[in-house]
Amino acid sequence: MKKLGMPIGVALILIWCLLPVVWVISLSFKAPDSITVGNPGFWPADGTWAGWENYRQVWDNDQFKRAILNSLGISLIATGLSVMVATLAAYAIARLEFKGKRMVLSMALAIAMFPVVSLVGPLFDMWRAFGIYDTWIGLIIPYMSFTLPLAIWTLSAFFREIPWEMEQAAQVDGATSWQAFRKVIVPLAAPGVFTAAILTFFFAWNDFVFGISLTSTEAARPIPASLAFFTGPDPFTRPASLLAAAAVIATIPIIVIVLIFQRKIVAGLTSGAVKG
Amino acid sequence: MTTVTAPRADATNRGGGKVASDRARAENRLGQRLVAPAIVLMLIVTAFPMLRALWLSVFNYSLAAPDDREVVWAQNYLTALSDPLFWKTTVITVAYMVVTVAIELVIGFVFAMVMHRLVFARGIVRTSILIPYGIITVVSGFTWQFAFSSTNGFVNGWIPGIDDTFNWFGDTTPAVIAICISEIWKTTPFMSLLLLAGLAQVSEDMIEAAKVDGATWWQRLWKVVLPNMRAAIMVAVLFRALDAYRIFDNIFVMTNGAEDTASISFLTYRQTIEQLQLGMGSALSVLLFLSVLLIAWLIIKLFRVDLAQARQEG
């Protein structure tokens, strides 16, 4: 019983997590015309294997390519800025004594739980007044605000673990302040900053509510919104296999990041929210 | 040595001493300056629009007819609160929240236990558990919608006793089940990672001691492990419950609110963005905000969640 428990548990986790992924990949290889007449089953039925046809069609779609570009640009810029601002705040929270410290943490928590949809109405109105409706900047600002709580919590938990005395120790050994910072503190803090950046990027890449509410054209529409509005050549029947191919492409960046950085992401998620 | 420690002690003593030292004051100033940009950014996109929503909610204001804007005071709120649709939507939203969080808690805990004791294949398990976490919710919605589809999916063929032509999206209950499954699949990893962190805090010695005293596996779980990771469980429940209450993406993609599957978030979105009723939509926004506050308060009070303790600051 004991010996069998673990392999069964592992198998269950793998099936639960990966089955839908395998399914959507399988679906993306079903021929588009077989989808319109109906092609049930987990694998493509005999003679309905489409090869790379769906992927080629999605890739030739300018709207989709533009959405990928928008998503990459907006998410990366928002991640960079958000992590910079969060690093300053997290350093202060982890190392300095100042009035309002608890307030900052509570506020970050409150914002993490904020019902995003209740903001889109007023933001829609405000962004049109400011002329940043349907622009990259109009999405970057809310993404920054909503990723800050997670970034601040994760980073301050990381920073609290850093042995800051080592900076003084390096200075005693003859390093200048800059050298002590660059050679001692930066390498110690970098993994935390990096983890916060990955989690922030996931949030921005995943966002849907702002994506559909604050954009109206392909000028700034990110992937999730674009997928939801993607109807293909015939708007009356959803082209399931095309959408599946587009979904797989949109998931590739996530899978690459997860494959390379899984250890860091798990550490970040578990330390930021629960451990001190 | 004494010259180094003395001012440091002085600075940390800030709370007790009446006259703060220059150093403590400078530290205070620097701290506030460093957090200022983050505070400003968080407020621009939350507090300011929320106040604006409060303001707009007393108007009868439609973007389709902006010139007819007039003050109606609490009329929008009264209309919303006396509309059975609002209450039906609230009930469905609470149902989404309770069902998904309860199931995720169980599955997430099993996953966390497996990951905690795992000695082999750690990388593979970690990677595969992070894929649903990182995947776009809209993609998860599509994946499951197609899986449940009677024309192109596989679920009808796999579950015995279900007709091959059964339409999951033709009635409220099956559609809600399909939406919940997508939501649960996508967010269980988050839950299990939070619980894994909690499990790691339970001392092995205590479990060993219980084992020596003859406690069964089940007793150890309920009497030792669970009580000792209470804080982590409560934080996970709080986070996920508030997240689930805001459910939107899956509904938008899978049913677009048909068959009474709309949540409060979806209703609010529809009023503001699709129908451009900014007055009514703002009133719904305020109600949504208040209900999230109420739920957060209820969970914190009922389960006595102590976030500071969970972060070991207490």
pLDDT tens digits along B130-165: 899 989 999 999 999 989 988 888 888 888 888 888
The pLDDT tens digits for A107-165 are 888 888 888 888 888 888 889 899 999 999 999 999 999 999 888 988 888 888 888 88
pLDDT above 80 for A86: yes
Instruction: Identify the pLDDT of residue A78.
Output: 95
The amino acid at residue B145 is Q
- Choose, out of B4, B136, B290, the residue to mutate when testing the contact with A (most A CBs < 10 Å): B136
Contact across the interface for B41 and A85, Cβ inside 8 Å: yes
Please tell me the distance from the alpha carbon of residue B300 to that of residue B291, in angstroms, as a whole number: 14
Minimum distance, in Å, between the CA of residue A183 and any CA atom of chain B: 23
One domain, residues A65 and A43: no
Chain A interface includes B300 (CB < 8 A): no
Contact across the interface for A258 and B140, Cβ inside 8 Å: no
Please tell me the distance from the alpha carbon of residue A152 to that of residue A87, in angstroms, as a whole number: 7
Query: CB-based contacts of A31: which residues, under 8 Å, 6+ apart?
Result: A39, A44, A48, A49, A50, A53, A241
One domain, residues A47 and A77: no
Identify the CA nearest to A94 among candidates A22, A8, A152, A25: A152
In a domain, A56, yes or no: no
CB pairs under 8 A between A and B: 326
Contact across the interface for B31 and A212, Cβ inside 8 Å: no
Which chain A residue lies closest to B308 (C-alpha atoms)? A276
pLDDT above 50 for B1: no
One domain, residues A45 and A138: no
pLDDT tier at B11 (50, 70, 90 boundaries)?
very low
The model's pTM = 0.87
Nearest to A224 among B119, B138, B243 (CB): B138
Instruction: Identify the pLDDT of residue B306.
Output: 63
Residue B62: strand, helix, or coil = strand
One domain, residues A88 and A25: no
Chain B CB contacts of A109 below 8 Å: 307
One domain, residues A70 and A191: yes
Chain A interface includes B57 (CB < 8 A): no
Minimum distance, in Å, between the CA of residue A185 and any CA atom of chain B: 18
pLDDT tier at B6 (50, 70, 90 boundaries)?
very low
pLDDT above 90 for A103: no
Please tell me the distance from the alpha carbon of residue A15 to that of residue A21, in angstroms, as a whole number: 10
- Domains of chain B listed by start with CATH number: 2-71 (no CATH), 75-310 (1.10.3720.10)
Please tell me the distance from the alpha carbon of residue B223 to that of residue B204, in angstroms, as a whole number: 14
One domain, residues A22 and A96: no
Domain count for chain A: 2
User: The domain that contains A266 carries what CATH number?
Assistant: 1.10.3720.10
One domain, residues A24 and A2: yes
Q: Structural domain of residue A118, as residue ranges? A: 61-273
Chain A CB contacts of B232 below 8 Å: 274
The pLDDT tens digits for B240-276 are 998 899 999 999 988 888 888 899 999 999 988 888 8
In a domain, A80, yes or no: yes
